[in-house]
Amino acid sequence: SQTIHQWPATLVQPVGSPLSLECTVEGTSNPNLYWYRQAAGRGLQLLFYSIGIDQISSEVPQNLSASRPQDRQFILSSKKLLLSDSGFYLCAWSLVKSPLHFGNGTRLTVT
Amino acid sequence: SQQGEEDPQALSIQEGENATMNCSYKTSINNLQWYRQNSGRGLVHLILIRSNEREKHSGRLRVTLDTSKKSSSLLITASRAADTASYFCATDGVTSGSRLTFGEGTQLTVNP
């Protein structure tokens, strides 16, 4: 069966520090991969999605970037975090036209 | 802007009662999906209804879709305390490729 791993679960980082969140999927090939951000008590904002290695689309211009070095690995990065980057980050995968499967999320607090 | 908007924002009911949540959207869709999120966790897919379907059932869940009104409803029958969670609708727009757009969610509290 397919599983998705996302880490770390929580992270506290100072303003201006770098960020690297990692997500891996097991049990499927060539999945679509997504990074979402969720503000407290709000819906999900799509940040990046990828339909294949090195094929990444950005939905929101900001100081975040994403990479997909391997078929089932998706990384969210930042060179310098802002206070506004705080939030709950969710990685997800899907097959074409199929429901999303989410990881357990990373709670990021930028201080 | 958000494609889906849920109503109400919060709903509190007693165990055994039915819970109804509504979702409205703005553009043509391929399908509409409902997800559940327990506090501090990832979302879990509940049910998908395609644009050519009007009603779908899964256990205690019943989803309806009215494409003429661009709206959907999720009914949870005989609610349980374990149903307490946030519920989100998400639309797969005709022009959005594989990208789902989520609403703001309904926070459901089921009191024992």
Domains of chain A in start order, with CATH, are 3-110 (2.60.40.10)
Number of H helices, E strands in chain A: 0, 11
Residues of B in contact with A88 (CB under 8 A): 40
Residue B107 vs residues A4, B40, B45: alpha-carbon distances, Å = 25, 13, 16
Query: Are the C-beta atoms of residues A13 and A21 closer than 8 Å to each other?
Result: no
Interface test with B, best of A32, A44, A89, A90 (most B CBs within 10 A): A44
Residues of A in contact with B98 (CB under 8 A): 32, 49, 51, 94, 96-97
Amino acid A42: pLDDT: 84
Residues of A in contact with B56 (CB under 8 A): none
With H, G, I as helix, E, B as strand and everything else as coil, classify residue A15: coil
With H, G, I as helix, E, B as strand and everything else as coil, classify residue B83: helix
Task: Report the residue from A51, A101, A107 with minimal CB separation from B98.
Answer: A51
Does the beta-carbon distance from B98 to A99 stay under 8 Å? no
Amino acid B92: pLDDT: 86
Cβ neighbours around A10 below 10 Å, total: 12
Amino acid A61: pLDDT: 65
Query: Are the C-beta atoms of residues B63 and B47 closer than 8 Å to each other?
Result: yes
Which chain A residue's Cα is nearest to B105?
A43
Amino acid B1: pLDDT: 40
Amino acid B6: pLDDT: 85
Q: What kind of fold does domain B5-111 have according to CATH?
A: Immunoglobulin-like (2.60.40)
Q: pLDDT, tens digit, for every residue of B29-64?
A: 999 999 999 999 999 999 999 999 999 999 999 999
Please report, in angstroms and rounded to a whole number, the separation of the first and last CA atoms in chain B.
37
Minimal C-alpha gap between B11 and chain A (Å) = 14
Minimal C-alpha gap between B80 and chain A (Å) = 22
Residues of chain A with pLDDT under 50: none
Q: pLDDT, tens digit, for every residue of B57-95?
A: 999 999 999 999 999 999 999 999 999 999 999 998 877
Amino acid B4: pLDDT: 66
Is A79 or B97 the better-scoring residue by pLDDT? Answer: A79
Does the beta-carbon distance from B98 to A102 stay under 8 Å? no
Residue B3 has pLDDT above 80, yes or no: no
Amino acid B2: pLDDT: 45
Question: What's phi and psi for B81, nearest 5 deg?
Answer: -60, -35
Q: Which two tokens stand for residue B75?
A: 């009914």
